[in-house]
Structure 1
Amino acid sequence: MNKAFKPYPFTAKQYKARVPELKQGVDAKRHAVTIVGGGPVGLAVALGLANHGVRSVLIEADDSVCYGSRAICISRRSLEIIERLGAVEGFLKTGLPWTGGRSFYRDTEVLHFTMPQDENQKLPPMVNLAQYHIEQFLLDAAEKRADLIDIRWQTRVKSIDARDDGATLQLTTADGDYALDTDWVVACDGGRSTIREALGLQLQGTSYEGRYVIVDIELDSERPTERLAYFDPSSNRGSTVLVHKQPDNVWRIDYQLRDGEDAEQAVKPENVMPRVQSLLDMMGEKGEWAPIWITIYKANALTLERYRHNRVMFAGDAAHLVPIFGVRGANSGIDDADNIAWKLAFVVKGLASPALLDSYSDERVAATHENLSYGTKSTEFMAPPSFAFDLMRRAVLSLAVKHPAVRSLINPRQTSAITYAQSPLNVADGDAFAAGPVPGAVLSEYPVTIAEGGQAREAHLTDLVSPRFTALCFSDEGDVPAGFNGLAETMRERGVPFRIVPLSARLHPETNGVHAWDHTGRLFERYDAKPGTVYLVRPDGHVLGRWHNARAAEVEAAITRALS
């Protein structure tokens, strides 16, 4: 075995800093939106804004996409968002899809779980993909939008002067310092956020004492892609070990340090290598392997109380730190980006009141608390914070060997789409619905046939989500409720992006505009829809309101109220 560290099977292109035209040390142009941080969240915000035609400047301190083992699992919901950003092709081509995993207690399998996956789904429940690939694919998409996304590499924020009318950022580069004036700032600068610190804000919550060593190795193996968890394995008694297969023959191994172990000593190669070898022997992996990356991780369950501070918004790790168990970190950040992008775009374009941005904080803070709730439970099981938790875990694992009913307690519930049940934007159901996504939920996926311009193609319901409000109008003949064509004209006059899509039980290719056909015969029943039912969908795919016998005035009022 070669014990020398090997480079990742990925070479990042390095980028040079760009200093704009200056007037007395100040960027000559005042910018509408400045994004601080060029990781997955910052790039997703920039791409989301670009989809609405809004320009942004993206500030990134590094000179390339990241190195090292960070986010590795991208959820179905994130893939749906990334598809709308124009970057999903690389994720699906390179990423390794998986649907479940196995947990072992000592030498016995005690859990085999499967995430929801059926014939209605377009995308896999999860793909494994290292963060350097995630960033590169998003960056590739951003470079295609260079007319709307100005990326400034090797540029650091020294300070920020945040005011009621915007902010001034003091920036430093290898070629000199300058100031940049901007109307809005989106801070996506990570767990050690410079912007958060400069504003004197602190994350609140719990930091756990348990620590994990994270090791990336290169290993050629035919083992299938699934999440593997080992509790008290023979290779590392008293520890918990997680294993994920990644593209390019890279394997991610996370193992818990025992109480009293010195973290500085624990990450030294001479201490890591024997543990990894022992694990691989236990798994029956006989191939040659080499280490690529070693670091240490400590679980945090922390969040800001609010994500909007006047003209500064926080997203991703700058806003919250979520335990890795259940893969909610990067995925929650991508959800942040999807939420803030359309709202900020509408505000910048004068289509909505700045108060719309308060709903970003309301919705995403609530989502973080939901993620933290599940993440905390998983963390306390994976790395027990006290003797009592450890005793409980051992009891559950022991019982699970012979009692299947106990096994669900072992599974760290994987991330899933969040429902904004208490969103101030929601229109409460006035009609009784027996099924279908409630206001605040994302669309439930189903296959449809989409006809447009005389051409028909098989697609899925989420393909109808776009950078606009969408009224899905269920009908028999591909028509729309009375008054809705007038509503569309009113929205056009107001400049509000809006589209009506008839959804019918049979195909009507002669229908003007876009028309969808429920060719499986499942959609009407699953949405408790009948002719005249309308689901109003936000630009991020969440349901704003639904009506069995919709009137144009109700839909117009819902949009107006959301943007007020």
Structure 2
Amino acid sequence: MEFKPYPFSAKKYAARLPRLDNGVETKRHAVTIVGGGPVGLAVALGLANHGVPSVLIEADDSVCYGSRAICISRRSLEIIERLGAVDGFLKTGLPWAGGRSFYRDTEVLHFEMPQDDNQKLPPMVNLAQYHIEQFLLDAAQRKSDLIDIRWQTRVSAIDSRVDGATLKLATPEGDYSLNSDWVVACDGGRSTIREALGLQLKGTSYEGRYVIVDIELESDRPTERLAYFDASSNPGSTVLVHKQPDNVWRIDYQLRDGEDAEQAVKPESVIPRVQSLLDMMGERGAWSPIWITIYKANALTLESYRHDRVLFGGDAAHLVPIFGVRGANSGIDDADNLAWKLAFVVRGLASEELLESYSDERVFAANENLSYGTKSTEFMAPPSFAFELMRQAVLSLAVKHERVRSLINPRQTSAITYTASSLNTPDAEPGAFAAGPVPGAVLGECPLTIVEGGNATEAHLTDLVAPSFTALHFSEDGKVPEEFVALEASLRREGLPFKLIAVTSHLHPETKRDHNWDHTGRLFSMYGARPGTVYLVRPDGHVLGRWHAAAAADIAAAVRHVLQK
């Protein structure tokens, strides 16, 4: 059986040299991003949304090869929509909302992720990383005036200082150096930048290994996460199966103790194992292998994501087990958190201290993800005989006892709430809000009607998140206190991105100010809001503070606290 090429064909890009003076680029850059994967591209797009230019360094000559990251969460889709790249994800990706787990030949779990009429995006879509990178790259190329992508360019050394960094770069066309005020390291699990700075990831590295195989197979089977424990095709071990676009299927199967990894990835070892799995699943169609690699679960993180003028994101900052699909999704969340903060610092709108909150919040998020990822890994790939016995007991009991079945399901990735963030403005009175996202949480989704210039459009609450601070003022008639209007004008004169948005419980065509109408009647109750309630939202969609009877001074103080100037 021969390997087939991917249905997707990546365009190749050549290296080019900038203008040099004695081997040093003549232009000093505000931000240089190392790594052109999903996280690096998301950082570049996020900065561009704030008008901040960047140089993106990528060692390869195209988007990646192989499925790699394949599951994109609803939260990531919200972020990607703000980056201007979501259309391709939704058009090509395969949405799913649940999955099934089997013990031998018996289904022991059918789980579903939260999904209701308030949502506009699916809980998850399956999309191979080469598609993910291509759609983000397409968006970046539409902003080529702000994003300078340099292919076939590899970092050979870095001189990091308190006022910036110098990168030594190697290309097929010649070597040169580049000076940058800030460097964002998104260069993966084997980060050159991390190694050059002598930094180490800390945590747990598991011995269990998985073979990852992409195959081409036509099938009408629905898209869902499939997990097989002690399957006849892989006795004593675990198999995961995900359907992808273009008739590509991703199969991950655990190697047994003592199996030789080098031998395990050879086609003559992989093909019979995959065939046995497909026979067990009842898939009778012709298939062909496309890509084979091996994976080892790690639960590791840097202790800090900021080191002088170097900032880390994605796998360069943390390595999360694949179970629960937190790898690429946590990296996209890193990019969303970092981009607005770095943009505000570069533009002189905030002090450098704002970037400490990037590290604090995302290290907290990494530890949350690692906690759940570790629990899932210990079940999916038991690290010891004791864990193996526990898993065997749970699976055996789950055949007849529904109450233990939840132990089988790895909790899927979800948006992180920065409960202890130094940026938050705590509620003035504990328990004052009966509902709604707390400071540090992301906005909960809900349909609403946007009324602009007399034109009404059905939309969703997250459509209001912008590259600015956003104050949502709830009222019955859309009338906003004059002090809030004056605050908006004052902050804008200072160059601070700030939007004051009226949210009404009734449609008021005569209201002069553009507003947003809670046409479902659900939003006010979801947010525990009443006339006069204000939610202040960060550029990344996290709630900064909320008040039932806010004064303009309260909102101004919350914004000033973030900027710390």
TM-score range, shorter-chain basis? Answer: over 0.9
Structure 1 vs Structure 2 CA RMSD: 0.7
Q: Confirm or deny: 8 A CA contact 2:469 2:498 kept in the other structure.
A: yes
1:235 matched to 2:220? The reply is no
Corresponding residue for residue 505 of structure 1: 505
> Counterparts of 1:399 and 1:259 in 2: how far apart (Å)?
25
What is the alpha-carbon distance in structure 2 between the residues aligned to residue 349 and residue 136 of structure 1?
Answer: 29
The answer as to whether partners of 1:455 and 1:509 remain within 8 angstroms in 2 is no
The residue that corresponds to 1:150 in the other structure is 148
| Range moving further from structure 2, 330-339 or 426-435 | 426-435
Q: Check conservation: 1:226, 1:244, Cα contact below 8 A.
A: yes
**SS at the partner of 2:485?**
helix
Structure 1 counterpart of 2:395 = 397
Is 1:215–1:252's contact at 8 Å kept on the other side of the alignment?
yes
1:402-453 deviations in Å (ceiling 9; x for gaps): 0000000000000011100110000011131110000000000000000112
Query: 1:383-407: CA deviations, max 9, x gaps?
Result: 0000000000000000000000000
1:65–1:135: 8 Å Cα contact kept in structure 2? Answer: yes
Instruction: Tell me, yes or no, if the aligned pair for 2:478 and 2:513 is still in contact at 8 Å.
Output: no
DSSP 3-state at the match of 2:296: strand
- State which of 166, 186, 189 in structure 2 corresponds to 1:188: 186
Corresponding residue to 1:289 among 268, 287, 309: 287
Would you say 1:471 and 2:439 are equivalent positions? Answer: no
Greater Cα offset, 501-510 or 324-333 = 501-510
Per-residue deviation, 1:475: 0.3
* Contact preservation (8 Å) 2:314, 2:328: yes
Correspondence for 2:108 = 110
Give the Cα separation in 2 of the matches to 1:93 and 1:376. Answer: 33
- Structure 2 counterpart of 1:269: 267
CA distance in 2, matches of 1:312, 1:453: 44
Cα deviation, 1:324-372, whole Å, max 9, x if unaligned, reads: 0000000000000000000000000000000000000000000000000
Match of 2:418 among 404, 417, 420: 420
Aligned residue type for 1:518: D
Q: Please tell me whether the aligned partners of residues 452 and 509 of structure 1 are also in contact (alpha carbons under 8 angstroms).
A: no
2:544 aligned partner, one-letter code: L
Matches within 5 A, 1:137-536: 137-431=135-429, 432-536=432-536
The aligned amino acid for 1:194 is T
Cα shift at 1:481: 3.2
- Return closer, same or farther for 1:510/1:53 CA change in 2, 3 Å cut-off: farther
Instruction: Return the offset for 1:482.
Output: 4.4
Quick check: 1:58–1:150 contact (8 Å CA) kept in 2?
yes
Where structure 2 has 5 or more consecutive residues not aligned to the other structure, the ranges are none
Question: Deviation at 1:235?
Answer: 1.5
1-structure distance, mates of 2:417, 2:479? 30
Alignment length (residue pairs): 562
Counterparts of 1:80-119 in structure 2 under 5 Å? 80-119=78-117
Separation in 1 of the partners of 2:514 and 2:229? Answer: 53
SS in 2 for 1:29: coil
List runs of 5+ in structure 1 lacking aligned partners: none
The answer (yes or no) to whether the contact 1:342–1:540 under 8 Å persists in 2 is yes
Q: Judging changes above 3 Å, is the alpha-carbon distance between structure 1 residues 199 and 233 closer, same or farther for their aligned structure 2 residues?
A: same
The answer as to whether partners of 1:481 and 1:532 remain within 8 angstroms in 2 is no
Paired letter, 1:177? D
CA deviation after TM superposition for structure 1 residue 310, in Å: 1.1
- Once the two structures are overlaid, the 10-residue window that deviates more, 151-160 or 501-510, is 501-510
Question: Which whole-Å deviations, capped at 9, do the CAs of 1:11-47 have from their partners, x for residues lacking one?
Answer: 0000011211111111110000000000000000000
Q: For 2:109 and 2:511, how far apart are their aligned partners in 1?
A: 51
Question: Matched residues, percent identical?
Answer: 80
Does the 8 Å contact 1:52/1:345 carry over to 2? yes
SS at match of 2:413: coil
Measure, in 2, the Cα distance between the counterparts of 1:514 and 1:152. Answer: 42
Could you tell me how far 1:92 is from its partner in structure 2?
Answer: 0.1
Question: Secondary structure of the equivalent of 2:457?
Answer: strand
- Displacement of 1:512 after TM fit? 4.1
1-structure distance, mates of 2:52, 2:483: 31
Q: Structure 2 CA distance, aligned partners of 1:161 and 1:514?
A: 50
The alignment partner of 2:246 has SS state of: coil
CA distance in 2, matches of 1:204, 1:467: 34
Partner Cα distance (1:112, 1:42) in 2: 36
Please say if residues 456 and 509 of structure 1, whose CA atoms lie closer than 8 Å, have aligned partners that are also in contact: no
Structure 2: distance between partners of 1:514 and 1:215: 52
Query: Helix, strand or coil for the counterpart of 1:183?
Result: strand
The offset of 1:69, in angstroms, is 2.4
CA contact (8 A) 2:441 2:542 kept: yes
Shift of 1:178: 0.6
The one of 2, 5, 9 equivalent to 1:4 is 2
Shift of 1:510: 4.0
Q: Give the counterpart letter for 2:490 in structure 1.
A: T
Query: What is the match of residue 71 of structure 2?
Result: 73
**Cα deviation code 1:117-153 (max 9, x no counterpart):** 0000010000000000000000000000000000000
Alignment partners' CA distance in 1, 2:191 and 2:342: 21
Deviations 1:286-337 (A, max 9, x none): 0000000010000000000000111000000000000000000000000000
1:508, distance to aligned residue in structure 2 (A): 2.4
1:330 and 1:514 map into 2 onto residues whose CA distance is 37
Q: 2-side partners of 1:384 and 1:137: how far apart?
A: 36
Q: CA deviation at 1:513?
A: 4.7
Question: In 1, distance between residues paired with 2:233 and 2:352?
Answer: 56
Distance 2:510 2:60 in 1: 53
Cα displacement (A) at 1:454: 2.0
- The alpha-carbon deviation at position 509 of structure 1 amounts to 3.5
2:207 and 2:509 map into 1 onto residues whose CA distance is 61
Following TM superposition, by how much is the alpha carbon of 1:234 offset from its aligned partner in structure 2, in angstroms? 1.3
TM superposition shift of 1:470? 0.3
Secondary structure class of the residue paired with 2:489: helix
CA contact (8 A) 1:107 1:233 kept: yes
Segments of 4+ moved more than 4 angstroms? none
8 Å CA contact retained: 2:477, 2:511: no
